[in-house]
Structure 1
Amino acid sequence: MDLGSLLAYWPFVLGLMATGVVSGVAAGLLGIGGGAVIVPALSNALLLMGYDGDIVQHVAVGTSLAIIIPTGIMSARAHHKRGALDMDILKLWAPVIVIGTFVGGLMAGWYSGDVLRVVFAVMAFVIAANIVFGFQTRLMGHLHGSSLTHRISAFIVGYMSSLMGIGGGSLTVPTLVAFGQSMHRAVGTSAAIGVAIAVSGTLGFIISGWSVANLPPLSFGYINLLALALVGVLAALCAPLGAALAHRMDQKTLKYVFAIFLVAVGLNMLWKVIFG
Structure 2
Amino acid sequence: MIKFFRKIRQKLLSENKFSKYLIYAIGEIILVVIGILIALQINNWNENQKNNEKEISIAKELYIELNENQISVKNQLELWENRDKKISEVISLIESENVKLTNREFDSTLIYVIAFSNFKLKQSKFQRILSLESFQFKKSPTLINDMLSLNNMYTTLMDYYRQNDDNYHKLLQPYLIENYATENFNNIITGRKTESKVDYHQLLYDLKFANIIHSSRGSSAPFVQRIKITINRIEALKRQLEKFYPSIIIANNR
Q: Same fold (TM over 0.5)?
A: no
Which protein is bigger by CA-based radius of gyration? 2
Higher RCO, 1 or 2 (CA under 8 Å, sep at least 6)?
1
TM-score range, shorter chain: under 0.3
TM-score (norm 2): 0.27
TM-score (norm 1): 0.25
